[in-house]
Amino acid sequence: MTQSDLREVALLLREQDDVAVATRDLAAGEVLRHDGRELTVANPVPRGHKIALRDLTTGTPIHKYGQVIGRTTADVPAGDHVHAHNLGMAAVDHEYEFGTALVEIPPAEYGRTFQGYRRSDGSVGTRNFVGIVTSVNCSASTARMIADQFRGPIMDVYPNVDGVVALAHDSGCGMVPASEGGQILLRTLRGYASHPNIGGILVLGLGCEMIGVDTLLAGLPDDSDTIVERLTIQDTGGVRATVRAGADVVRTLLERLNERRRETFPASKLVVGLNCGGSDGYSGITANPALGHASDLLVAQGATTVLAETPEVFGAEHLLTRRAVSKEVGQRLLDRIAWWHRYVEAGGGTLDNNPSPGNKAGGLTTILEKSLGAVAKGGSAPLTAVYEYAEKITDRGFTFMDTPGYDPVSVTGLVAGGATVVVFTTGRGSVLGGKPAPVLKVATNSETYQRMREDMDLDTGGIVTGSLTITDAGEQIFEAILAVASGQVTCSEDLDLGRDEFIPWQLGAVT
């Protein structure tokens, strides 16, 4: 039977770990040399999955990344496949510390730049869109009809405009505007309406909705240079009349926005969202820590990075509170997690109702394991702020936004807060796109990258094979962010994705 050194076929992330991660499919009966002894593979272990390095009795805490990811639910012999059949959740009982693991990120020796669009409020856009912002679902179809008239060759006349996007959603009426759900929707719509990547907007309503055009416009900043127009379908004369009038408005907006030009700005003006989806057993080993290094490089430039997906940092939040610049910042994160416990319990669930079937097929077993890999996207910089969903991002450095783990809802919140570029890591393969903020997709493994080559922008699989270091991959992501911010088209933009990924988080009763 084949004999190999363990480190040739698996990754041991910390010396004290109880498991290693297979870098190829391991067959039953293979003999692995580890720590001066032989380890026989007890049953097949798929690539990206975990193999036990020692005998483990029922109830034993299992360590990966040097942290507990769960407890055994049965006796696990050395060489066994460790997964959902013999590993379960462990109770989370952290003693939280605040600011005890602060790592200073010194300013970069050389300032980097990108080509962006100057906005009067001091922000800088990476794209130049016309947005059709709908106040209510009743105007969604009309908004799409207007936007669809400006796809394809017609846009060649406006080379300095990236497109016309209809921001249609499923809410806006049958709700209380002052409720938590109403306020989240308003923050989201206003965030997009005043986004640096949108130079002009047509706010489109029906005319009798709970959250109307006037309510939406009332919250826009006074110092914005966004060109604002408005229409309501009832006052304009119905759908067809509104489509004609809306198209005329959009043509005028396009002509004016086409006069704008990119200028050179310091990288400190960037706001970069950090997200992941379709994670696998390599996510916390390759793409996520590489993105974490890129995040640190951005922070060194004075830029802002924003981690998100609160349910997917649960179990690893203690690592973030230790990096909080103050107890208040750390406590705000814990308060949001406490809110999530109440929220999911009210719906009959728990926060450990995760990972997804796809995550498990890729080798992730518990939410603790998934979260420990997910927080790696945040690098090592101090945590300077914690925001609620779609709240305007104002602090520099590494920050956090409370969002669901559902990818389009999470990214919608980040963009509403002001993210001008989003970097999205994926192991199983994601086809997420975004407008008006470009989405840069990073594959955790080379197999997914090659299989979905037209959907993936970067490949970090070389970290597993040794052809690429985390530092090298992080620098590649950093350079790609600057290039995309300057106008380089991402794979999802080339496919014109992003029209259907505007999904505001819906909370509360519908009446």
pLDDT digits (tens, 9 = 90+) for 398-417: 999 999 999 999 999 999 99
pLDDT digits (tens, 9 = 90+) for 169-222: 999 998 888 899 999 999 999 999 999 999 999 999 999 999 999 999 998 888
Which among 317, 228, 237, 303 has a CA at the least distance from the CA of 271?
303
Give the HSE-up count for residue 175: Cα atoms under 13 Å, Cβ half-sphere: 24
Which among 318, 316, 289 has a CA at the least distance from the CA of 376?
289
SS3 of 8, please? helix
Count Cβ atoms below 10 Å from residue 33 Cβ, excluding itself: 14
CA dihedral 99, 411, 271, 150 (to 10 degrees): -170
CA dihedral 7, 9, 14, 15 (to 10 degrees): -40
Sign of CA dihedral 410, 413, 417, 420: positive
Give the HSE-up count for residue 39: Cα atoms under 13 Å, Cβ half-sphere: 26
Mean pLDDT of 427-435: 96
What's 391's DSSP letter? P
Q: Are 421 and 274 in contact (CB under 8 A)?
A: no
What's 481's DSSP letter? H
Triad 126, 132, 137: Cα angle to 5°: 130
pLDDT digits (tens, 9 = 90+) for 417-426: 999 999 999 9
pLDDT of 113 reads 98
Mean pLDDT of 159-169: 97
pLDDT of 89 reads 85
Peptide bond into 355 cis (omega under 30): yes
Burial profile 285-296: b = 16 or more Cβ within 10 angstroms, e = fewer: bbbbbbbbbbbb
Contacts for 70 with CB less than 8 Å, ≥ 6 apart: 61, 62, 87, 88, 89, 90, 365, 366, 368, 369
pLDDT of 311 reads 94
Q: Which helix (H) or strand (E) holds 221?
A: none
For the chain, give the mean pLDDT. 95
Measured between alpha carbons, how far is 274 from 467 in angstroms, rounded to an integer? Answer: 25
Give the pLDDT band of residue 230 (cuts 50, 70, 90). Answer: very high
